[in-house]
């Protein structure tokens, strides 16, 4: 009896081990299964990716892709844990804010050699090619698109408030948002970002105010080498931003992150929203506001009439622990060119990586036209790189988000906030030398 | 016996011990190039963090501010539900229903209820004439803490009601009949018959609830995420936040402190109540 039980246990264990191994190694007919993890998950995006993967599998019958889609809020944490374990991930979504720490930990594979001479590079925009390389010429991810800010606005509300066109500057935004703001009617001017990633919009206004002085290679640096937070204009910027919160934003927006801001604009309660293009798809589906009621305008400028457009990006990379790098490179090439890339950027509302997309009528009309306007006027809408790839970015986000909340709740003055941010970056850059 | 011990050792104690060593190492997922031994540095970083005082104060307020009202209201509900009346089963089901919902979901529901612009709480208070203008409940640290406490009291009352009601069913009717014959009033019956009879259940329920509430980050996470300004964090929500930031060393140090704190509390609580039981017997 005991012997039979032992045999059964051994058999079960062997079966489990073999099943486990089948996901790692090619099976009898040579089929390879890749594990692919996405980070910025949402249901329609996951369906879109599954469709693209199905096309890839059709072209490559010997490769199967198993898509893993953790909930967005915990995705990067989950990916981090998977990467730390050293196996179980082949392809993964790498963001400009995660590439630094993950590559520093030795979790990402440098694809530079595999992609040398790849035809796909020629079809890509300069921004995309630039974003795919780090300072040492290594390629840890190939971008699938860009996220850039534009101003979502309510056409009907600004007209009712007596304005003929959307604001072009932060001052005008403050004026229009304040005029529209009427809490008694539960109507608010601006969808303020006070919660997760609050630092990004606070930095956007600071960068707009110092646009003339900013170092294009590092959006947190002035041309004189000091931080943008040390400039006198930064204080004016933050004071304007604080007034925008006090005079034109819902009080609860002190804790608003991405979902709350988008929801507030989509349900018709706020007149202005600063967001990435992916929101176009979400707002278009709104049942509370019609397509005639809203549009987008280029990112608002500072006093000089210029502004800074920090392009955020993400893309597809390979885990260093992957045992199927050649197949994964194949998958990344497939997703980064031709119809697959165009479909992904269009349906996921992203600034495209392919040059050909700028000629596409899809990007020239409606809410997308503001992005074309910004692209056509690079002297007004300056493209800058933010130091998002540094290993301390996560620490910076935590600190700066908490500081923005302190400022809007009156626990910290704009001056104190700027002094702290200036000291933080100065010290980090000193340590880096 | 042996397989069970091996199972517990492998799946409980091994991960615990293995995880605990992170508390003494530099273990930051944002930079794993250096995972050297740092001694008590992670503990020092916990104690010297500017949020530590607030977190500790909030945890005390969270446990005491939840337990006392939950016990009182739960007790009252149980006494009420013990009586025989029409549709008692329906009332019982309705009152016990919240216990079936996840804490995180309750947090999200209450976040919308306390929303300053569109929430039902402000709406009702304004209609009742108690406030002139909407209160920004979750935007102000003190009010946010009150809001999460209200939500937790509402959520946890049910558990006390269930436990106390079950205990009340065991009190023999003869005791109440004898008390009535002796001319004891309601208050005297409550303090001299009901409470002493169900005292063991009460003690154990309070002990369990203190541990659970201490370890209950779900509701706060759903409602405020620990904000604004990190002012509504309790120890466990703060620990999760530190883990999310990738600082496993500091989070593990905090985790060990939580385990030690709860062990100490349990020992003291059980010793204190045992003494009284012995004196009584």
* Chain B CB within 8 Å of residue A250 CB: yes
Give the CATH number for residue A316. Answer: 3.40.190.10
User: pLDDT per residue over A12-69, tens digit each?
Assistant: 444 443 444 444 456 667 899 999 999 998 888 999 999 999 999 999 999 999 999 9
A167 and A264 share one domain: yes
- Domain with A203, as residue range(s), is 150-310+383-432
A343 and A250 share one domain: no
Work out the percent of chain A whose per-residue pLDDT is above 90: 67
User: pLDDT per residue over A223-235, tens digit each?
Assistant: 999 999 999 999 9
Nearest by CB: A186 against B117, B229, B230: B117
Is A409 close to B30, i.e. CB distance below 8 A? no
Range among A202-216, A280-294, A357-371 with highest mean pLDDT value: A202-216
Q: Which residues of A touch B117 (CB under 8 A)?
A: 183, 186, 188, 250-252, 269
Indicate which of B121, B218, B227 best probes the interface with A, i.e. most A CBs within 10 Å of its own CB: B227
* Chain A CB within 8 Å of residue B29 CB: yes
Indicate whether A164 belongs to any domain: yes
Q: Which residues of B touch A196 (CB under 8 A)?
A: 225
Is A255 close to B118, i.e. CB distance below 8 A? no
pLDDT at B99: 80
pTM equals: 0.81
Is A395 close to B245, i.e. CB distance below 8 A? yes
A100 and A56 share one domain: yes
Sign of the dihedral through C-alpha A411, A414, A419, A423: positive
Q: How far is CA A74 from CA A39, A189, B245, in A?
A: 8, 31, 11
pLDDT at A38: 96
Determine if the peptide bond prior to B228 is cis (ω within 30°): yes
Question: Is residue A166's pLDDT more than 60?
Answer: yes
A302 and A318 share one domain: no
Is B138 close to A394, i.e. CB distance below 8 A? no
pLDDT at A269: 94
A302 and A329 share one domain: no
A336 and A303 share one domain: no
> Which region holds residue A366: left if phi is over 0, alpha if psi is between -120 and 50, else beta?
left
Indicate whether A412 belongs to any domain: yes
- According to the 3-state scheme, what is the secondary structure of B66-112? HHHHHHHHHHHHHHHHHCCCCCHHHHHHHHHHHHHCCHHHHHHHHHH
Q: Nearest-CA distance from B1 to chain A in Å?
A: 17
A326 and A304 share one domain: no
A218 and A110 share one domain: no
pLDDT at A27: 65
A117 and A238 share one domain: no
pLDDT at A5: 47
CA distance A157 to A270: 9
Is A252 close to B29, i.e. CB distance below 8 A? no
* Chain A CB within 8 Å of residue B244 CB: yes
Indicate whether A230 belongs to any domain: yes
Indicate whether A3 belongs to any domain: no
pLDDT at A151: 97
Is A101 close to B244, i.e. CB distance below 8 A? no
A247 and A118 share one domain: no
Is B117 close to A269, i.e. CB distance below 8 A? yes
Is A104 close to B33, i.e. CB distance below 8 A? yes
Sign of the dihedral through C-alpha B67, B72, B73, B78: positive
Q: Nearest-CA distance from A29 to chain B in Å?
A: 37
Total structural domains in chain A? 2
Indicate whether A134 belongs to any domain: yes
pLDDT at A26: 60
Helices (H), chain B: 2-8, 14-20, 41-48, 52-82, 88-96, 103-113, 120-127, 141-168, 173-181, 186-189, 195-197, 199-214, 218-223, 235-244, 248-280
pLDDT at B100: 82
Is B228 close to A186, i.e. CB distance below 8 A? no
A296 and A388 share one domain: yes
Indicate whether A14 belongs to any domain: no
User: pLDDT per residue over B105-144, tens digit each?
Assistant: 999 999 989 988 888 999 999 999 998 888 889 988 889 9
* Chain A CB within 8 Å of residue B228 CB: yes
Q: Which residues of chain B have pLDDT under 50?
A: 279-281
A161 and A120 share one domain: no
Indicate whether A262 belongs to any domain: yes
Q: Which residues have C-beta within 8 Å of that of residue B122, sequence separation ≥ 6?
A: B114, B115, B116, B131, B134, B135, B137
Q: Which residues of B touch A106 (CB under 8 A)?
A: 33
Indicate whether A9 belongs to any domain: no
Is A391 close to B138, i.e. CB distance below 8 A? no
pLDDT at A334: 97
Structure tokens at A186: 């539960």
Please give the helix or strand (H or E) that residue A175 lies within, else none.
helix A170-180
């Amino acid at each position: 009896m005991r012997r039979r039980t032992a045999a059964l246990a051994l058999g079960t264990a062997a079966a489990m081990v073999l099943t486990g191994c089948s996901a790692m190694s090619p099976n009898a007919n040579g089929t390879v299964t890749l594990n692919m993890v996405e980070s910025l998950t949402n249901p329609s995006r996951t369906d879109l990716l599954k469709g693209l993967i199905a096309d890839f599998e059709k072209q490559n019958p010997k490769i199967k892709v198993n898509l893993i889609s953790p909930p967005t809020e915990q995705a990067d944490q989950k990916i981090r844990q998977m990467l730390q374990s050293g196996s179980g991930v082949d392809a993964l979504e790498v963001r400009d804010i995660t590439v630094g720490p993950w590559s520093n930990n030795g979790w990402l594979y440098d694809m530079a050699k595999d992609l040398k001479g790849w035809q796909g590079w020629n079809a890509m925009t300069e921004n995309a090619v630039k974003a795919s390389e780090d300072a040492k010429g290594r390629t840890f991810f190939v971008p699938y698109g860009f996220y850039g800010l534009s101003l979502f606005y309510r056409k009907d509300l600004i007209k009712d408030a007596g304005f003929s066109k959307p604001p072009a500057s932060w001052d005008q935004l403050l004026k229009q948002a304040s005029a529209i703001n009427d809490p008694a009617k539960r109507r608010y001017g601006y969808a303020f970002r006070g919660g997760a990633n609050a630092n990004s919009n606070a930095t956007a206004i600071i960068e707009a105010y110092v646009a003339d002085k900013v170092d294009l290679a590092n959006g947190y640096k002035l041309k004189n080498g000091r931080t943008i937070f040390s400039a006198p204009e930064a204080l004016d910027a933050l004071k304007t931003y604080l007034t925008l919160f006090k005079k034109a934003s819902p009080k609860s927006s002190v804790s608003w992150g991405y979902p709350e801001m988008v929801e507030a604009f989509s349900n018709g309660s706020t007149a202005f929203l600063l967001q990435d293009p992916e929101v176009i798809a979400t707002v278009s589906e709104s049942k509370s506001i019609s397509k005639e009621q809203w549009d987008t305008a280029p990112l608002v400028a500072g006093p000089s009439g210029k502004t800074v457009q920090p392009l955020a990006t993400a893309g597809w990379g390979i885990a260093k622990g992957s045992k199927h790098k050649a197949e994964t490179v194949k998958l990344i090439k497939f997703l980064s060119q031709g119809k697959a890339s165009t479909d992904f950027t269009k349906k996921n509302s992203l600034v495209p990586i392919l040059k050909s997309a700028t000629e596409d009528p899809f990007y020239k009309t409606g809410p997308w036209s503001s992005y074309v306007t910004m692209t056509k006027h690079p002297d007004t809408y300056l493209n800058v790189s933010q130091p998002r790839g540094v290993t301390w970015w996560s620490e910076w986000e935590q600190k700066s988000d908490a500081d923005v909340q302190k400022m809007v709740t009156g626990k910290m003055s704009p001056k104190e906030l700027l002094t702290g941010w200036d000291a933080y970056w100065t010290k980090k850059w000193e340590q880096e030398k | 016996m042996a397989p069970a011990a091996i199972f517990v050792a492998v799946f409980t104690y091994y991960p615990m011990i293995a995880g605990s060593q992170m508390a003494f190492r530099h273990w930051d997922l944002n930079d794993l190039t250096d995972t050297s031994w740092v001694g008590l540095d992670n503990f020092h970083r916990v104690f010297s963090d500017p949020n530590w005082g607030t977190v500790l104060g909030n945890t005390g307020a969270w446990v005491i501010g939840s337990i006392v009202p939950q016990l009182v209201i739960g007790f009252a509900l149980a006494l009420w539900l013990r009586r025989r009346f029409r549709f008692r089963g329906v009332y019982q089901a309705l009152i016990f229903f919240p216990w079936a919902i996840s804490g995180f979901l309750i947090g999200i529901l209450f976040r919308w209820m306390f929303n300053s612009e569109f929430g039902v709480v402000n709406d009702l208070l304004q209609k009742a004439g108690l406030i002139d203008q909407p209160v920004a409940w979750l935007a102000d640290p003190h009010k946010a803490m009150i809001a999460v406490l209200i939500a937790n009291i509402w959520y946890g009352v049910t558990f006390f009601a269930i436990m106390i009601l079950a205990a009340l069913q065991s009190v023999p009717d003869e005791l109440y009949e004898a008390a009535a014959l002796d001319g004891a009033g309601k208050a005297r019956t409550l303090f001299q018959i009901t409470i002493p009879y169900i005292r063991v259940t009460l003690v154990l329920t309070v002990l369990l609830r203190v541990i659970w509430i201490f370890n209950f980050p779900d509701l706060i996470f759903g409602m405020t995420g620990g904000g604004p300004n990190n002012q509504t964090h309790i120890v466990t929500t703060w620990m999760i936040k530190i883990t999310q930031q990738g600082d496993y060393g500091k989070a593990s140090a905090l985790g060990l402190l939580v385990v030690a704190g709860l062990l100490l509390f349990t020992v003291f609580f059980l010793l204190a109540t045992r003494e009284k039981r012995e004196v009584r017997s």
